[in-house]
Amino acid sequence: MSAKSEPTYLFVPGLREHVADHWQTLLADKLPKSVTVPPLTEDSLSCSARVSAIEVAIDRIDGDVVIVAHSAGVIMTVHWAQQASRPIRGALLAVPPDLERPLPKGYPKHRDLVEGGWTPIPRDSLPFPSIVVASDNDPLASLDRVEEFARCWGSSLVNAGRVGHLNPAVGFGDWPLATDLLTHL
């Protein structure tokens, strides 16, 4: 793949889909070549349905692709990578949740995620360069678990500090670090 051409950025939201004031939505609006995986209208807790949606979106893109995933979108991306045939330039994987453990109240039940095929979380090395962003105080995954994921996936790890789950609920709308990290991919 040519390092000179501007890639298309494929945004893979988490389970809460599209949120207007989320850093992903704001960043996608700023990038001229961006596509967002559309929300599911059925089987919203099916990991395989979400992986298929990623595949469909990537198939529609000509040229290089960089994935920008948040939360469960990271886990979707990692599942997709296990069967992907198309090479991509890289991926920014922000605050992956630990879906192998129960999530806090207000999130899907562990049993539903297991039945939806989200677990086990793949631990194979990713076939593309990637950066995993971790948080010191993410209620959905301990720093140790995110470090383990990054190590298994062969990803560079960036500890963003105390940024919670890096969403509007903790003050992230605009997130300038994302733009900086994308330049490394």
**pLDDT value for 17:** 61
**pLDDT value for 4:** 59
Helices marked H in the chain: 23-30, 47-59, 72-83, 110-115, 143-153, 176-183
The string of pLDDT tens digits covering residues 11-69 is 999 987 667 888 899 999 999 899 999 887 777 899 999 999 999 999 999 999 999 99
The string of pLDDT tens digits covering residues 100-148 is 999 999 899 999 999 999 999 999 999 999 999 999 999 999 999 999 9
Give the position of tokens 């990271």. Answer: 74
**pLDDT value for 175:** 87
Task: Give the CATH H-level superfamily of domain 8-183.
Answer: Alpha/Beta hydrolase fold, catalytic domain (3.40.50.1820)
**pLDDT confidence tier of residue 1, bands split at 50, 70 and 90:** very low
What is the residue extent of each domain of the chain? 8-183
**pLDDT value for 169:** 80
What are the C-alpha distances in Å from 145 to residues 109, 141, 183? 19, 6, 26
